[in-house]
Amino acid sequence: MADPFLIAHKVRGEPAFDVATQMECPECTGHDALYRAMYKHNCVECDGLGYWWIIPTSGHRAYPYWQQALDGLGQGSDIGFWLAPIIDEMPPSLPDHYPTRSAPAVSLAEVLGIKPRPAPSPPIHRRF
């Protein structure tokens, strides 16, 4: 298993701490070392990092804005002194781990560019 990290990420619009591990990016894997070295920075899935952050208890992907290896959090750690500033620096554009229900729903027809059918014209009544 990969080394665990303590991460700060956005959950339902609020900053939250969680334990996460790094998983190799599926888009970057399967290629030889030369390809990865040349094109890794163009990967849109991992932003060129070569890995994703995964919450191992749920299997969900996380988007942390801060991380610290759990190995570095032993006795004498001063983590309590620097956690408060980390919460305050959460970027507003950060993807959410669990989007809230108040997030706008995306219409499939709108995404595909499909226009709604025009309303049928009223029937023409003719006199004979």
pLDDT digits (tens, 9 = 90+) for 52-84: 899 998 888 898 988 888 886 666 555 555 665
Measure the CA–CA gap between 97 and 86, rounded to whole angstroms: 17
The Cα angle at residue 96 between residues 91 and 101, in degrees rounded to 5: 125
Average per-residue pLDDT in the chain? 77
**In sequence order, what E strands does the chain have?**
5-11, 14-24, 51-54, 61-62, 66-69
What pLDDT score does 104 carry?
64
pLDDT of residue 42: 67
Tokens of 27: 């888009």
Could you tell me if 53 and 65 are in contact, meaning their C-beta atoms sit under 8 angstroms apart?
A: no
Q: Please count the other Cβ atoms lying within 10 Å of the Cβ belonging to residue 9.
A: 23
Residue range 28-47: mean pLDDT, rounded:
66
Q: What is the mean pLDDT of residues 110-115?
A: 80
Asked if 47 and 11 touch (Cβ cutoff 8 Å), the reply is no
pLDDT of residue 80: 57
- The sheet carrying 51-54 orders its strands as 61-62, 51-54, 14-24, 5-11, 66-69
